[in-house]
Amino acid sequence: MTNELVGKTTSPKRILIANRGEIASRVAKACRELGHTAIGIWTDNEIHARHLEFCDEWVHLQGMTNAETYLNIPNILKVIKENKVDAVHPGYGFLSENADFADALKEAGVVFIAPHAEAIRVMGDKATSKTLAKEAGVPVVPGSSAAVETVAEATKIADQIGYPVLLKAVAGGGGRGMRACHNESEIKSNFEAVQRESESAFGNGDLLVEKLIVNPRHIEVQIMADKKGNVFHFFERECSIQRRNQKVIEEAPSPFIGDDEDVRQKVCQTAVKLAEAVKYDSAGTVEFIMAEDKSFYFLEMNTRIQVEHPITEEITGIDLLVCMIQSAFGEDLGIPNQEFIKRSGHAIECRICAEDPITMLPAPGKVTGFETNFPQGTRFDNCIFKDLEVTPDFDPMIGKLVTKGINRTIAIRKMMCALDGLHIEGLKTNIPLHKVILREENFIKGNYSTAYIATIKPQEKVTTQFDYLRIFNKLAGIEANRMGL
Amino acid sequence: MRTYLIDNDKNEIIIDLTRTTVHSHELVEFEYSAVRDNEIVQKENIFVRKLAGRYFSSTDNKRWTRLAKQNLPTHILNVDTIYKVFRGYKPSGLSGGNDGELLTQMPGKVVKIQVEKNQEVKAGDTVLILEAMKMENEIKSAVDGIVKEVHVKEGDALDQGVLMLEIEPK
């Protein structure tokens, strides 16, 4: 009876968390809170898997590599059978967007805490998701729908969609085989060059013409849907601060959209429309690219819980992981209608990664000391501990620092204070880079695009000078510990 | 006690702990100097206060910042550089000589020789104590091996770069 009164589940399930690190902890906390049994996995490659401390039961998965463990569908199915698992939460990465895994679970009669396999499949493919978006009336980046053979054809399309345009390889990626053209003569002079470049880089000289979005912003909308056909949005996030197409800092709401409620509603409604078009039934994110005139175009939909979900939880006060689990079991989310979901204040997330703060390349190592001293209201989702070995086998992200304020200024102020209170010793982290960005003028004004790191180059402002006083302090602490203080 | 911090490019930072004062069960004061070319470039007193199981440090015993508790680590971080930490000794291999050759890193006086010729030693074993800049420095072997020759005796005053001991690596 009490369980019902406090919103705990009346039918406890056994949930396997097929992931590790901070997201495994986060999922386990939601399972435990709801009254389900959280089953955690550890592998031979990570005996001190800290996420287990939040799990009720621990299962050993043999193997050293991810292919042998977290990505090994037959092995995970075996674990599911042996442990009488009712449901699987995939976290993010690994098997989270694997439609075959979704099918296998369905066949085994196990609930996948994710959207249905068809949604994963459609959204997992760039071409089919774009087609679906178009059919649903969701704007996509204007451009040629098939390979363009000649300069004449390219200029014709450019005239239709308007300059500047991007000539890009069909097979391209990572910024190669791409060139911006601002007029007809630039198309003429670049066409063959890009063709040759693509031919040599990707073995495929086919080109596309696409509208070039100048200074684009990365805007994404959090979606949550239940199995009864209710699709809700949880407002947007802006994740324009990126390196190597990976997010570094995320904010909710978007400082670029700012007070423009019309645009906000339009983006969010568009995301809902797309989710409804695939009969979405779980947590997901619709990603858009937004131009300077606030026109926006569909990029892709991530059919999983995302790394940066905490900032949305902070501004809406709703636990997305709890909702995701409730939705998977066909339960009520406790959200009567869209208007019920309100946002207040501003939240920022800094991804804390074991990487060089200047080159931003992963820098594995061992944590020799870890302490925090945060301002009120700081959230730090992490799996860090003293003696943690950060290996090259996993993503270098070791924690997510989240602050919230009644407005953006206060969220930034809290984040500055939180970063000063985050002490990770023994390995390189991007904390010094975050400190530079948080103090940088364009960031503070909220005036930044996805080109921020490439053009503003905050990494060049990281002070690397040897700081004797700081090292004295560290050595003094080590000496005091040696003395047994 | 001297600590050497050496990065991958063999850049070397020398930090001397010149005084330790235990004020109470909760408070210790250290005097640290950074040395470059035998000159002190910066000197500070650092207080470490234990509070509810955690460490805080201060330069004036008034204003405190939290420290991450660390055991003696093998490496230490400065923003984007990882330094190897050698407390009390510097492996001779990092100063240009052969791994088994122990040379003086600074002028000093031999206080104690702890090994004899033909004795077996392990990497990290203290073989000799050298007093330099009013501090005792433990000179440790960088290799496993057998003491081939001892070139100095207790009480010798040595210049920088003098070969003190040779160890035949195993």
Q: In chain A, which residues have their Cβ closer than 8 Å to the Cβ of B80?
A: 356-358, 428, 432, 462, 464
- For residue A120 the two structure tokens come to 């994963």
Q: Do residues A342 and A238 both lie within one domain?
A: yes
Domain boundary among A163, A185, A211: A211
**Is the model more confident about A201 or about A134?**
A134
Q: Do residues A280 and A385 both lie within one domain?
A: yes
Q: In chain B, which residues have their Cβ closer than 8 Å to the Cβ of A354?
A: none
φ/ψ region of A119 (left if φ > 0, alpha if ψ in -120 to 50, else beta) reads alpha
The Cα-based distances of A63 to A46, A98, A396, A434 in angstroms read 10, 21, 20, 36
Look at A469 and B44 and tell me if their CB atoms are within 8 Å: yes
Q: Is A1 on the interface with B (CB under 8 A)?
A: no
**DSSP annotation of A46:** B
Model confidence over A395-405: pLDDT tens digits?
899 999 999 99
Model confidence over A214-260: pLDDT tens digits?
999 999 999 999 999 999 999 999 999 999 888 999 999 999 999 99
Q: Would you give the distance in Å from CA A178 to the centre of its chain?
A: 25
Q: Number of folded domains in chain A?
A: 3
pLDDT of residue B157: 82
Q: Do residues A379 and A429 both lie within one domain?
A: yes
- Selecting from A357, A476, A482 the residue whose C-beta is nearest the C-beta of B57 gives A476
Residue A134 lies in a domain: no
CA distance B18 to chain A (A): 12
pLDDT of residue A139: 97
A131 pLDDT more than 70: yes
Residue A258 lies in a domain: yes
Domain of A450, CATH number, reads: 3.30.470.20
**Is the model more confident about B66 or about B160?**
B66
Q: In chain A, which residues have their Cβ closer than 8 Å to the Cβ of B18?
A: none
Q: Do residues A68 and A161 both lie within one domain?
A: no
pLDDT of residue A146: 82
pLDDT of residue B96: 42
Residue A484 lies in a domain: no
Place of tokens 């308007």: A162
Domain of A67, CATH number, reads: 3.40.50.20
One-letter amino acid for residue A342 of the chain: K
- Selecting from B13, B66, B81 the residue whose C-beta is nearest the C-beta of A423 gives B66
Domain regions of chain B by residue span: 2-87, 92-169
Q: What mean pLDDT comes out for the span A320-343?
A: 97
Domain of A186, CATH number, reads: 3.30.1490.20
Look at A464 and B81 and tell me if their CB atoms are within 8 Å: yes
Least confident of A185-199, A397-411, B79-93: B79-93
Q: What mean pLDDT comes out for the span A321-342?
A: 97
Look at B78 and A466 and tell me if their CB atoms are within 8 Å: yes
The closest alpha carbon to A67, from A82, A45, A49, A48, belongs to A45
Residue A297 lies in a domain: yes
Contact criterion met (CB below 8 Å) for A282 and A226: no
Position A126 confidence tier, pLDDT thresholds 50, 70, 90: confident
B9 pLDDT more than 90: no
**Count of Cβ atoms closer than 10 Å to residue A311 Cβ:** 26
CA distance B140 to chain A (A): 19
Q: Is A472 on the interface with B (CB under 8 A)?
A: yes
B46 pLDDT more than 90: yes
Residue of A361, A435, A474 for testing the chain B interface, max B β-carbons within 10 Å: A474
What is the rounded distance in angstroms from the CA atom of residue B148 to the CA atom of residue B142? Answer: 14
Q: Do residues A305 and A356 both lie within one domain?
A: yes
Catalytic residue among A50, A237, A304, A351: A304
Model confidence over A165-186: pLDDT tens digits?
999 888 766 566 788 999 999 9
Look at A475 and B13 and tell me if their CB atoms are within 8 Å: no
Contact criterion met (CB below 8 Å) for A297 and A247: no
Nearest chain B residue to A428 by CA: give it: B80
- Selecting from B15, B48, B79 the residue whose C-beta is nearest the C-beta of A432 gives B79
Q: In chain B, which residues have their Cβ closer than 8 Å to the Cβ of A478?
A: 70-73
Q: Do residues A224 and A273 both lie within one domain?
A: yes
Q: Do residues A382 and A413 both lie within one domain?
A: yes
Q: Do residues A350 and A441 both lie within one domain?
A: yes
Interface of A with B in 425-464 (CB under 8 A): 425-428, 432, 462-464
pLDDT of residue A155: 94
Look at B68 and A428 and tell me if their CB atoms are within 8 Å: no
pLDDT of residue A384: 97
Q: Do residues A103 and A156 both lie within one domain?
A: no
Interface of B with A in 48-107 (CB under 8 A): 48, 50, 54-55, 57, 59, 65-73, 75-82
Q: Do residues A225 and A100 both lie within one domain?
A: no
CATH tag for B92-169 (out of 3.60.15.10, 2.40.50.100, 3.40.50.150, 3.40.718.10): 2.40.50.100
Nearest chain A residue to B86 by CA: give it: A475
Q: Do residues A97 and A197 both lie within one domain?
A: no
Q: Would you give the distance in Å from CA B153 to the centre of its chain?
A: 21
Contact criterion met (CB below 8 Å) for B20 and B153: no
CA distance B40 to chain A (A): 12
pLDDT of residue A174: 57
Q: Give percent of chain A with pLDDT exceeding 90.
A: 85
- Selecting from A386, A476, A482 the residue whose C-beta is nearest the C-beta of B32 gives A476
pLDDT of residue A1: 59
B111 pLDDT more than 80: yes
Q: Give percent of chain B with pLDDT exceeding 70.
A: 89
Residue A475 lies in a domain: no
Residue A372 lies in a domain: yes
Contact criterion met (CB below 8 Å) for A209 and A148: yes
Interface of A with B in 228-257 (CB under 8 A): none
Cα dihedral sign, A59-A62-A65-A68: negative
Calculate the average pLDDT of chain B.
87
Residue A136 lies in a domain: no
Q: Give percent of chain B with pLDDT exceeding 90.
A: 49
A437 pLDDT more than 60: yes
**Count of Cβ atoms closer than 10 Å to residue A444 Cβ:** 15
Within 13 Å, how many C-alpha atoms sit on residue A329's CB side?
22
Q: Do residues A19 and A61 both lie within one domain?
A: yes
Q: ipTM of the assembly?
A: 0.84
Calculate the average pLDDT of chain A.
94
Q: Give percent of chain A with pLDDT exceeding 70.
A: 99
- Selecting from B41, B57, B75 the residue whose C-beta is nearest the C-beta of A473 gives B57
Q: In chain A, which residues have their Cβ closer than 8 Å to the Cβ of B46?
A: 472-473, 476
Q: Is A388 on the interface with B (CB under 8 A)?
A: no
B95 pLDDT more than 50: no
A467 pLDDT more than 70: yes
How many helices (H) and strands (E) are present in chain A, helices listed first? 16, 20
Q: What mean pLDDT comes out for the span A453-457?
A: 95
pLDDT of residue B134: 56
- Asked if A304 is an active-site residue, the reply is yes
Residue A130 lies in a domain: no
Position B94 confidence tier, pLDDT thresholds 50, 70, 90: very low
A137 pLDDT more than 50: yes
CA distance B146 to chain A (A): 30
Is A366 exposed, middle or buried (CB count within 10 Å of its CB: 0-12, 13-18, 19+)? middle
- Selecting from A464, A471, A481 the residue whose C-beta is nearest the C-beta of B80 gives A464
Model confidence over A271-288: pLDDT tens digits?
999 999 999 999 999 999
CA distance B36 to chain A (A): 12
Position B106 confidence tier, pLDDT thresholds 50, 70, 90: low
Q: In chain A, which residues have their Cβ closer than 8 Å to the Cβ of B22?
A: 483
A145 pLDDT more than 90: no
Cα dihedral sign, B81-B85-B91-B92: positive
Q: What is the dihedral of CA A253, A400, A20, A353, to 10 degrees?
A: 120
What sections of A427-466 are H helices per DSSP?
A: 431-439, 441-445, 452-456
B31 pLDDT more than 70: yes
Model confidence over B128-141: pLDDT tens digits?
888 766 567 778 88
- For residue A77 the two structure tokens come to 């199915």
Q: What is the CA radius of gyration of chain A?
A: 24
Residue of A466, A467, A482 for testing the chain B interface, max B β-carbons within 10 Å: A466
Nearest chain A residue to B23 by CA: give it: A485
Q: Is B35 on the interface with A (CB under 8 A)?
A: no
pTM of the model: 0.85
Look at B67 and A356 and tell me if their CB atoms are within 8 Å: no
Q: What is the dihedral of CA A124, A128, A130, A133, to 10 degrees?
A: -100
**DSSP annotation of A18:** -
Q: In chain B, which residues have their Cβ closer than 8 Å to the Cβ of A428?
A: 77, 80, 82
Find the domain containing A308 and state its range.
219-461
Look at A478 and B70 and tell me if their CB atoms are within 8 Å: yes
